[in-house]
Amino acid sequence: MGEWKMNRIRQALENTKQVRSFRFSSGKMFKNKDTGTLSSMDMNQTGNKMIYWAIFAVLLGVALICLLPPLWILLSSFKTHKELMEIPPRLLPTAYDFGKFADVWNKLKFGQYYLNTIILAAGCVIFSVVFNGITGYVVSCLKPRGSAFIITLIIWTMLLPNTLSMVPLFKNMIKLPLLGLNLTDTYWPMWLCAGANAFNILLFKNSFDSLPVSLVEAARLDGCGRIKVFSRIILPLSKPIIAVVAIFTVNSAWGDFLLPYLVLPSRSRQTVMLQLYNAQSSYSFPLDQQLVSIVFAIFPPIIIFFIFQKYIMGGATLGGVKE
């Protein structure tokens, strides 16, 4: 009888340990929480935990809603025209025909338009990093007389809608001031606009403001001029912001439509978005093939985001800490 009681006591103790270990393991994610609005001590309160998980559920629902359109386009691209016309519609196709993608790729010659878009995006990245970076360096580090007024003008241009500047911009591209050159049917209009992007200038400025001033002063004491300070000190320390600006510029150049539509009349120089527009305007292009062409147009930026999401998400916090 005594041995039976001892076994029951041991079993009760084991159950108690399991319950405690489960409680401790379920709270591990909040044990050392030192980021965000709520600390680890705040998460010990039941009310705060309920609010936390409620917000998490809402954000998860919003994320699923945002994920639905590209997912629907991808799944619908496998459907036949008859399946797309079904009522009520179905999310999943009856078959997955990958041969349709090869047919649309060859029919619309997407390889050539991908190459054109890559050339356009590469030039935009070079112009954006070089000229916006130099402008940010001037107003952040050199600070000439009137630099505060220049920053005010840069911020003011961000308040204007892009369509407002299209007419004067197009006139300037037809006849470039001072030189009188016609830049239409070239990529120069997009490249020049990328080199004068107010948002990227502010990104560079805020990033340069956070760099240690002692490094710049030490470089000047060693005899480095302003150009050497920029090329040997500022740029090597600014790789994160350069990566962010490059990614933003590639996504912007890939999805740009209005300006390339105005200045690129030749089919041989047009981009993916212009070819997508031409395909959508054709009455002989079936709906299922139109969805395949949309997949070709929208998925490269999505892939870029998943590969470089660390830099993209970190771009919002660059320059937030000054030394």
SS3 labels along 93-123? CCCCCCHHHHHHHHHHCHHHHHHHHHHHHHH
pLDDT of residue 43: 62
Label residues 7-32 b or e (16+ Cβ within 10 Å = b).
Answer: eeeeeeeeeeeeeeeeeeeeeeebee
pLDDT of residue 320: 47
SS3 labels along the chain? CHHHHHHHHHHHHHHHHHHHHHHHHHCHHHHCCCCCCCCCCHHHCHHHHHHHHHHHHHHHHHHHHHHHHHHHHHHHCCCCHHHHCCCCCCCCCCCCCCHHHHHHHHHHCHHHHHHHHHHHHHHHHHHHHHHHHHHHHHHHHHCCCCHHHHHHHHHHHHCCCHHHHHHHHHHHHHCCCCCCCCCCCCCHHHHHHHCCCHHHHHHHHHHHHCCCHHHHHHHHHCCCCHHHHHHHHHHHHCHHHHHHHHHHHHHHHHHCCHHHHHHCCCHHHCCHHHHHHHHHCCCCCCHHHHHHHHHHHHHHHHHHHHHCHHHHHHCCCCCCCCC
CA atoms within 13 A on the CB side of 246: 14
Chain CA centroid to CA 134, Å: 22
What is the sign of the dihedral through the CA atoms of 266, 272, 275 and 277? negative
pLDDT of residue 323: 47
Per-residue pLDDT of the chain (323 residues; tens, 9 = 90+): 455 555 555 565 455 544 444 344 445 555 555 555 666 666 666 777 788 788 889 999 999 998 888 888 888 888 887 888 888 888 888 888 888 888 889 888 889 999 999 999 999 999 999 999 999 988 988 888 888 898 898 888 888 887 888 888 888 888 888 787 888 999 999 999 999 999 999 999 988 888 887 887 888 888 888 888 888 888 888 888 898 899 999 999 999 998 999 999 988 899 999 988 888 776 677 888 888 888 998 888 888 888 877 776 665 555 444 44
pLDDT of residue 321: 45
CA distance 33 to 40: 5
pTM across the whole model:
0.76
Closest to 288 (Cα-Cα) out of 95, 129, 111: 95
Q: Which amino acid is at 205?
A: K
Domain 103-314 has CATH 1.10.3720.10: yes
Closest to 257 (Cα-Cα) out of 233, 235, 281, 287: 281
Q: What tokens appear for 190 in the block?
A: 């997009």
Q: Which amino acid is at 19?
A: V
CA distance 208 to 32: 32
Q: What tokens appear for 57 in the block?
A: 């559920």
